[in-house]
Amino acid sequence: MNVSTTEVEPGLSDAVRERALIRRFCRQPLGPYDAELQAFLLPLRNLPALGKHALMRLPARQAWTLVRLGGRGRPVQMLGGCWQSTADAEWALFRARWQDLRGWDPQTLCDPAASGTCCTQDG
């Protein structure tokens, strides 16, 4: 049985399904993603560039930081945070985009005792 059929059962409410998908992403922010999770992430990834949260690599620190894109020909705004783990950085990016679109932080859904990286931000 694959992850999507064991965690996101058919017939669940949209809110329950959404929370289950967030938890799945939280545990494996770098994938692999099944078709259901890819479809769930697509709207967050297809946002217009102007004002979109993104990650910027900081080569001198071998880390990632969160930025907001200024649009074509405009500078990015450094928002801060410093993640050495790509998985932690991707989870932070997801959280920022989700907060912008939905108005709440999905971190509240993650269990710190879980085996994922969603609760181990160092920035």
Domain that holds residue 31: 3-109
Give how many domains the chain has, as a whole number. 1
Q: How far apart are CA 91 and CA 26, in angstroms?
A: 6
Domain membership of residue 120 (yes or no) is: no
First to last CA, the chain: 37
Residue 68 is assigned to a structural domain of this protein:
yes
pLDDT per residue as tens, the chain (123 positions): 344 444 555 666 888 999 999 999 999 999 999 999 999 999 999 999 899 999 999 998 899 999 999 978 889 999 999 999 999 999 999 999 999 998 888 887 875 544 334 433 333
Distance (Å, rounded) from C-alpha 48 to C-alpha 112?
32
The rounded distance, in Å, linking the Cα atoms of 58 and 105 is 25
Examine residue 89 and state whether it is found in any structural domain, yes or no: yes
Structural domain includes residue 48: yes
10 domain-assigned: yes
Residue 56 lies in a domain: yes
